[in-house]
Amino acid sequence: MKAEIISIGDEILIGQIINTNAAYIGEKLLTIGIKVKRTTTIGDDEEIIINALQKALYENDIIIVTGGLGPTHDDVTKKAFANFFKCGYKRDEAVYEHVKNLLAKRNIPLKPINEEQAMVPEVCNVLFNALGTAPGMHFIKDGKEIFVMPGVPFEMQYIMENHVLPYLKSKNKFFIKVKTLMTCGIAESSLFNLLGDINELTKNAELAFLPNARGVRIRVMTRSENENDAEYELNRVVNIIYEKANNYIYSDEEKEIEEVVGKLLTENNLTLAIAESCTGGRVADRITDISGSSKYFMRGLVTYSNKSKTDLLGIPDELISEKGAVSKEVASLMAENLRLKSGTDIGISTTGIAGPTGGTPEKPVGLIWIGYSDKYESFAKNFYLGDNRKIFKERASQMALNILREQIIKNFIRKK
Amino acid sequence: MKAEIISIGDEILIGQIINTNAAYIGEKLLTIGIKVKRTTTIGDDEEIIINALQKALYENDIIIVTGGLGPTHDDVTKKAFANFFKCGYKRDEAVYEHVKNLLAKRNIPLKPINEEQAMVPEVCNVLFNALGTAPGMHFIKDGKEIFVMPGVPFEMQYIMENHVLPYLKSKNKFFIKVKTLMTCGIAESSLFNLLGDINELTKNAELAFLPNARGVRIRVMTRSENENDAEYELNRVVNIIYEKANNYIYSDEEKEIEEVVGKLLTENNLTLAIAESCTGGRVADRITDISGSSKYFMRGLVTYSNKSKTDLLGIPDELISEKGAVSKEVASLMAENLRLKSGTDIGISTTGIAGPTGGTPEKPVGLIWIGYSDKYESFAKNFYLGDNRKIFKERASQMALNILREQIIKNFIRKK
């Protein structure tokens, strides 16, 4: 079954609102085996709405429409549907009572403009909206299903969960299984090559590579009339990918690496301190995005100036002048001294050249040394992460968190 | 001129990625007087891409396509365009050199899959992408303009800003003038009321209020065939807004507050240190997003544990147990001690309850104290910033940077 989403609203077209509704609906439909084939966003215009609806009905089986159901003059979605179905309006008594009660609760007098919200096209079934005044509507045309909902996200979500999804689920015969493998530290093309014969993987599954500054996500999707078959095939493909790319995968549950690392630190009763130069606080910021991070994250230092590296971390002036602030030796000593001074189990550090200026032929913009220290070892590794300052910081924080993840597994889990 | 955006990518349809690109493009096109009439999102499928393109060309003048230009098998956008234009491929030498260099810098060997990124349909003009390996492409068909860009947001934005927008702007016969006033510290509805008679402002101008976690942007836009008229009317409206809301406006050049603050610090030869508890490094991270920040930003401390507040900032244990770590006294002393220990001109601090847990009736989730200290004064101010952890951190960093901005103006500029 193929679906189309039609989002209605001038404010989406001009970028005033980001269309999160379409993402929500696409994701929810997929979990019941319905694939969205197209999302169309159009303005509040009757003729354009009817045209989009005609095209959608011609090509897809299920049409989900959101937006344009408010009480003001610029909302024309309901009128467009009444015209499309060449029908009049009926008053829905349940909606009328509900609107009256909602307004009474907020001490707002009932006006004709509010009463009109209970008027719906005669041929529709009302999808009751407990969270707002605009009801959802369900139409059927030539065996195709059309659902119309308000654009306010939480109202739309209420109607999806209570009406649309249960209804569609009961009509569906396919099962869809999806897993996303989150990788970092490897480029998309290298990952693709590493996986070997792609045809073997995609025989009965769909594979997508989704890159961003944090790494490449691999999405695997299978579909079958038999739930076990879909599950079996998903596991087969996921296992092959794990065999070939295990070292690069940090989550198969769509968790960001700061959450994965937080869980590892918590489960192994480890504490962490972070000393950042070039990442400027980005690593600590990501670590503290996780609720509960105060249990394992003790302190961070942003040692931006050389003096702060000396004052706060005891890095000798001579080492900085001999090797440079961006060096293996400084990165490693930053992590080690930080750990000892903080009394934490682990210290990590960053020092590099975020650019766009400050590079030299030997130490170009994009170079970073990431230091790591625990009771077993202290070391530093270098990477080249490009010359865009913000992307450099994002990539650098990801690499630092990945080294932390690898080392916890190596020194605190495998050694047990 | 009417535009259509075609976003390509299965991952958008299934809701794995929210289509922020469409919002960005819609907003940017509007600033040069082009209105998006439709946004269509479709999957990575050659036939579907060609159909969408045909329909778009039939109805609109400018087509902006994003996504599906990666090097792997699931990206078919380039192939679809070559087929649509019934042309072969050419190798673009500049792109080839660029890809080779990018990979070399990251120590990744050049493979055929990478070389293919320099191959583009013969009939296109290449839009150079300095930030990635997939070039943008410009096609013209029956006088209509088609731009194709990668879906990675920062690469798309680079190509929009450097190629697409300047090109389209040069073809436009209307003069459009736009100014965006960035405000923070005031809610959208209060700002709206503060501006008074909105009809007076919008007589010959369009006004939009764009709220996000950092504040509310007011976008003013005027349009005329006469450039002076457009400029005059823009200035008239902007001046009225400045008169009424001056205290809340931190930029009229679309600069983020960290950039505004960086300029103020540089121009006044001031140095800064930051001590963060609840913001976890977010303030330092934003300060160091600005190139050249190493000139004024000396050090940051993320004093997450109470012990680190004592060790690194000399906050007495007794003060913490008496007043609590989240208190006016601790925030103010954090800023003052930080400044004295660091030897900087200014110290700022944050301490609060980012949630979702840890709140009490007296100190609920969302409470923050922001401390400030310079040679003239040390103090702390509190705010309630809501119970979503990430939004709390974002708002908190914005308020801290805004206090810093206000204080530099008050103590180091006005006193001169």
**Residues of chain A under the 70 pLDDT cut:** none
CB contact under 8 Å between A188 and B70, yes or no, is yes
Phi-psi region of A324 (alpha: psi -120 to 50; beta: other; left: phi over 0): left
Are the C-beta atoms of residues B338 and B273 closer than 8 Å to each other? yes
User: What distances in angstroms separate CA B319 from CA A280, A287, A303, B308, B315, one per listed residue?
Assistant: 29, 27, 27, 14, 7
Q: Which residues of B touch A352 (CB under 8 A)?
A: none
- What angle do the packed helices B306-313 and B328-342 form, to 10 degrees? 40
Distance from CA of A250 to the nearest CA of B (A): 18
Q: What pLDDT digit, counting tens, does each position of B157-198 carry?
A: 999 999 999 999 988 888 888 899 999 998 887 888 899 888
Q: How far is A154 from chain B (nearest CA, A)?
A: 16
Length of chain B: 416
Q: Torsion over CA of A323, A326, A328 and A329, rounded to 10 degrees?
A: 50
Answer yes or no: do A30 and B14 touch at CB < 8 A.
yes
- A56 to chain B: nearest residue by CA? B40
Q: Supply the pLDDT for residue B263.
A: 98
Of A35, A43, A386, the CB nearest to B37: A43
User: Between chains, do A393 and B289 touch, taking CB under 8 Å as contact?
Assistant: yes
From chain B, the residues in CB contact with A366 under 8 A are: 105
ipTM of the complex: 0.82
> For domain A2-171, which architecture applies?
3-Layer(aba) Sandwich (3.40)
**Can you tell me the distance from the alpha carbon of B51 to that of A249, in angstroms, rounded to the nearest whole number?**
37
- Closest to A288 (Cβ–Cβ): which among B154, B304, B357? B304
pLDDT tens digit sequence for A117-156: 899 999 999 999 998 889 999 999 999 999 999 998 889 9
Q: How far is A305 from chain B (nearest CA, A)?
A: 5
Q: What was the pLDDT predicted at A274?
A: 98
**Which H helix or E strand runs over A321?**
helix A317-323
CA-nearest of B1, B4, B142 to B65 is B4
Q: CA of A279, closest CA in chain B: separation in Å?
A: 7
Residues from chain A that touch B313, judged by Cβ atoms under 8 A, are: none
Q: How far is CA B76 from each of CA A119, B66, B83, B91, B412, rounded to the nearest angstrom?
A: 46, 12, 11, 17, 57
Where are any strands of DSSP class E within B67-226? Answer: 89-91, 119-121, 125-127, 136-141, 144-149, 175-183, 206-212, 215-224
A2-171 and A257-413, same CATH topology: no
Work out the minimum CA distance from B383 to partner chain A, whole angstroms: 20
* CATH architecture of the domain formed by B257-413: Alpha-Beta Complex (3.90)
Q: Which DSSP helix (H) or strand (E) runs through B349?
A: strand B346-352
Q: What percent of chain B has pLDDT over 70?
A: 100
Residues of A in contact with B105 (CB under 8 A): 364, 366, 384, 386
- A401 Cβ partners below 8 Å, 6+ apart? A257, A258, A261, A283, A286, A287
Taking one residue from A and the other from B, the number of pairs with CB-CB distance under 8 angstroms is: 274
CB contact under 8 A, B274 and A302: yes
Give the whole-angstrom CA distance, residue B405 versus residue B350: 15
In chain A, residues with a C-beta closer than 8 Å to the C-beta of B291 are 354-357, 389
Report the residue of A186, A195, A285, A315 to disrupt the B interface, i.e. the one with the largest count of B CBs within 10 Å: A285
Whole-angstrom distance, CA of residue A215 vs CA of residue A227:
31
**Distance (Å) from the alpha carbon of A94 to chain B's nearest alpha carbon:** 33
Partner residue opposite B111 with nearest CB, options A189, A209, A281: A189
**Which chain B residues have a beta carbon less than 8 Å from that of A27?**
14-16
Tell me the pLDDT of chain B (416 aa) as tens digits. 899 999 999 989 988 889 999 999 999 998 888 989 999 999 999 999 999 999 999 999 999 999 999 887 788 999 999 999 999 999 999 999 999 998 888 788 888 888 889 999 999 999 999 999 999 999 999 999 999 999 999 999 999 999 999 999 988 888 888 899 999 998 887 888 899 888 888 888 988 887 788 998 898 989 898 989 999 999 999 999 999 999 999 999 989 999 999 999 999 999 999 999 999 999 999 999 999 999 999 999 999 999 999 999 999 999 999 999 999 999 999 999 999 999 999 999 999 999 888 899 999 999 999 999 999 999 999 999 988 899 899 999 999 999 999 999 999 998 77
* B384 φ/ψ angles, rounded to the nearest 5 degrees: -115, 115
Beta bridge partners of A249: A183
Looking at the domain that runs over A175-251, which CATH code has it been given? 3.30.70.2860
Tell me the three state secondary structure of residue B380.
Answer: strand
Q: What is the pLDDT of residue B174?
A: 82
Domain ranges in chain B are 2-171, 175-251, 257-413
- This prediction's pTM: 0.82
Among A1, A5, A2, CA closest to A160: A5
